[in-house]
Structure 1
Amino acid sequence: MVALCAACHKPLVVELVHEEDDDDMEMEGSSSAKTVPDDCQLTCGDHFHWQCLLDAYTVHECPNCSSELLTTSPSGVQQLLCTLNNEGGLQEDLDILPLLTEEAYLKTYPHERKCRAFLEFCREGDLQAIIGMIQDDDDEEEEEDVMEDEAGNKAEVDILRYQDPLGDMQSALHAAVTAGSREVAWLLLLLASNLDLQQFPAEVFQEAETLGIMRDDQTGKADIRSLRDSQGRSAEQIATEMGGVWTGWPGTGRLAI
């Protein structure tokens, strides 16, 4: 018997739609569909589409049979293992607990989704994606900077100063330092700190001017250098531990105040 998704009871595949070239579209239609696997099998034996699992998951139990899913790794860390078969191939004993935990958190605090995406780009050192988000954020209407969670509580969105409650309260500057990206660190310092502008390399200003992003009035805003993670560490302390590209930065005031 072919397994179906325990949530929607449909085959465990998903269609990928690819746009054809303009000439082909005129002759053969506007798109073509390709079917790929989309199967997340939990340790209890139930199968889900990945999105169906994200939509249904609320606690550490199977949304279908209520079996306990958490196990403990050899190192003593809790994990939630599955067998995932999708476009990327088959992955066995994959720990998806971090992903499910984040998705459950975002169901409660949906206004943080953009902030978390920004922080992930900082962790990856993806300067172009970071700049794109900052530019998009600047283009939005001012009233859109205040959003509501599921309980109707209003919350201001500040992607530059967001601290990750699921990741040791790290800020974007912590993330940039951990990623070893001086380019991202300089950008964050330019936009979210009071660091003396004379400390910035000329190319930082040139790039910012080309992109149309510069420092706003920082009155009443937290200096990103003052943010500490859950262990009380500044970005400078992490840079000191890492060394490498950060050699010469500690003690200059660039990463801590």
Structure 2
Amino acid sequence: MATCVACQQPLVIRLEPDEDDENLDTAAASSGKAPAPEPETVPDDVHLNCGCHFHWDCLLEAYEITQCPSCGKEIAATASDGSQQVFCHLHNEGGLQEDLDILPLLTEESYLKAYPEERKCRAFLEFCREGDIKAITNMLQDGDDDEDDDDEEMEDNEQPGREVGVDALLRYQDPIGDMQSGLHAAVQAGSREVAWLLLLLASNLDLLEFPLQVFQEAEALGIMRGITEDKTDIRSLKDANGKTAEDLAKEIGGVWAGWTGTGRLSI
């Protein structure tokens, strides 16, 4: 079996058992009724086009964009549009994926390694893309707690934490994702429910423009609009291509019919 060129260990990872299962297995083994089970393992093999094999985490630790960190060979290819790609065979718990471009994943993980405080922001954008209202709400409520903790730290003359507060989370723009905001992500995913929530919390859109159901759902989730007049209106944010969420909605159409030109997505 091939081994990881970085750590020289087999290209598998051990799955940690659930606590209840582990207790049952331990009890059975100690009673003499059954031998202790072998730890379950799954493949963890990133086979680069240069021929080197890595564990995923080992590759992230040593990652260089254009060259293999082990043999130094060029591993990046150029696509027809001029963008770079890094193809590999990836074998993990989900099975074998051949000729997979892992450059987007490597770029994201490398960025988050340098700026770990933005991991929460990128998770927030992903929830906006998925239309996961419950997860979005939980993150915003956690953000309120983080801001309270920061205030207490400052009162104690300590350095404030690097956690991202609610206002920054709502208006975050992804530096490695075309500077998209949560509203861009919601529009691109066709999630009107998320769009309404973001407009309620991070825009100056007149409250009379909101359907009653939006307020009812917000109340059920335990969230409400704070002071927004002195903050950046999320509708004004532009992505790396200079497009607002309304510009994107015009291109997409579909579920956004009747939204553009009304002020819902533009100031």
TM-score by length of 2: 0.85
Tell me the equivalent position of 1:99.
105
**Residue aligned with 2:16, SS:** strand
The residue type paired with residue 91 of structure 2 is N
Tell me the equivalent position of 2:3.
4
The residue type paired with residue 213 of structure 1 is I
RMSD: 2.5
1:127 is aligned, of 98, 117, 133, to: 133
The residue type paired with residue 159 of structure 1 is L
2:253 is aligned, of 199, 224, 243, to: 243
| Aligned structure 1 segments of 4 or more residues deviating by more than 6 angstroms | 29-32
Distance in 2 (alpha carbons) for counterparts of 1:28 and 1:206 = 52
Q: Aligned in 2, Cα 1:27/1:113: closer, same or farther, shift over 3 Å?
A: same
Tell me the equivalent position of 1:204.
214
Write the mapping of 1:67-82 to structure 2, written as runs, cut at 5 A. Answer: 67-82=73-88
The residue type paired with residue 186 of structure 2 is A
The residue type paired with residue 62 of structure 1 is C
Write the mapping of 1:2-151 to structure 2, written as runs, cut at 5 A. Answer: 2-19=1-18, 20=20, 24=24, 27-28=27-28, 33-144=39-150
**Residue aligned with 2:13, SS:** strand
Distance in 1 (alpha carbons) for counterparts of 2:170 and 2:43 = 37
Q: Aligned in 2, Cα 1:124/1:31: closer, same or farther, shift over 3 Å?
A: farther
1:220 is aligned, of 224, 230, 236, to: 230
Distance in 1 (alpha carbons) for counterparts of 2:7 and 2:43 = 15
Higher helix share: 2
Q: Aligned in 2, Cα 1:138/1:28: closer, same or farther, shift over 3 Å?
A: farther
List gaps (5 residues or longer) in structure 2: 30-35, 152-158
**Residue aligned with 1:84, SS:** strand
**Residue aligned with 2:42, SS:** strand
Distance in 1 (alpha carbons) for counterparts of 2:25 and 2:15 = 17
Q: Deviations over 1:159-208 (max 9, x none)?
A: 11011111211111011000000000011111111111111111211111
Deviation at 1:58, TM superposition (A): 3.6
State the identity as a percent: 63
Q: Aligned in 2, Cα 1:33/1:171: closer, same or farther, shift over 3 Å?
A: same
**Residue aligned with 1:41, SS:** strand
**Residue aligned with 1:80, SS:** strand
Higher strand share: 1
Distance in 1 (alpha carbons) for counterparts of 2:91 and 2:127 = 26
Distance in 1 (alpha carbons) for counterparts of 2:100 and 2:51 = 15
Distance in 2 (alpha carbons) for counterparts of 1:38 and 1:66 = 22
The residue type paired with residue 43 of structure 2 is P
Tell me the equivalent position of 1:174.
184
Q: Which moved more, 1:18-27 or 1:242-251?
A: 18-27
Q: Deviations over 1:230-257 (max 9, x none)?
A: 1211111111111111100011111011
1:233 has 2:233 as partner: no
Q: Aligned in 2, Cα 1:187/1:33: closer, same or farther, shift over 3 Å?
A: farther
1:14–1:37 contact (8 Å) kept in structure 2: yes
The structure number with the bigger radius of gyration is 2
Q: Deviations over 1:206-240 (max 9, x none)?
A: 11111211112124311101101112111111111
Distance in 2 (alpha carbons) for counterparts of 1:54 and 1:67 = 17
